[in-house]
Copies of this chain bind each other. A is one copy, B any other.
Amino acid sequence: MSGSGRPVRSRQPTLSLAVPSQTSYLAMISELTRHMAALAGFDEAEAGRLALAVDEATTNAIKHAYAGAPDRLVQLRFDDRRDELRVEIEDTGATVDPRNMPSVDLDRYVKQRRTGGLGVHLMEKIMDSVTFRRVSGRNICCLVKRKDGAGGAP
């Protein structure tokens, strides 16, 4: 085995995807995520929630980082590791400052008739970890869901 000559990798190669910054691709991304989640061993309900979290992160990149410009690209990477599924959503748009992300107060929310601010909250409820980082002109939103069923949404 070890003599076969090709490099030994410890895990599945990553699936990656570059999608135009248009919301018409959201449904496709959601289907793709559902499929990747199923391949990673998540059940249908969990796969549906993961699809929603990735939809939200992609929507944010289109709406906020690219301010709706339709001719940019959003990169997605799916990394199926032994213990977790990791999805990174990357854009080259305006800087995200995670400290700007509001925490959600539903009562205030309704009173003020706000219609935004739920996406990040939802991602955090669904995933085990949601992090944002800026790396050489790119915003990377990293979503992690553990496979053991501990943590995250019911």
Contact = CB atoms under 8 A, between A and B. Distances in A.
Kindly report how many copies of this chain are found in the complex they form together. 2
A72 interface: yes
Interface of A: 6-7, 9, 12-21, 24-25, 27-28, 31-32, 35-36, 39, 69, 71-73
A39 B13 contact: no
A35 B39 contact: no
A145 to B, nearest CB: 18
A28 B32 contact: yes
A18 B16 contact: yes
A18 B25 contact: no
A5 to B, nearest CB: 10
A82 B3 CA distance: 50
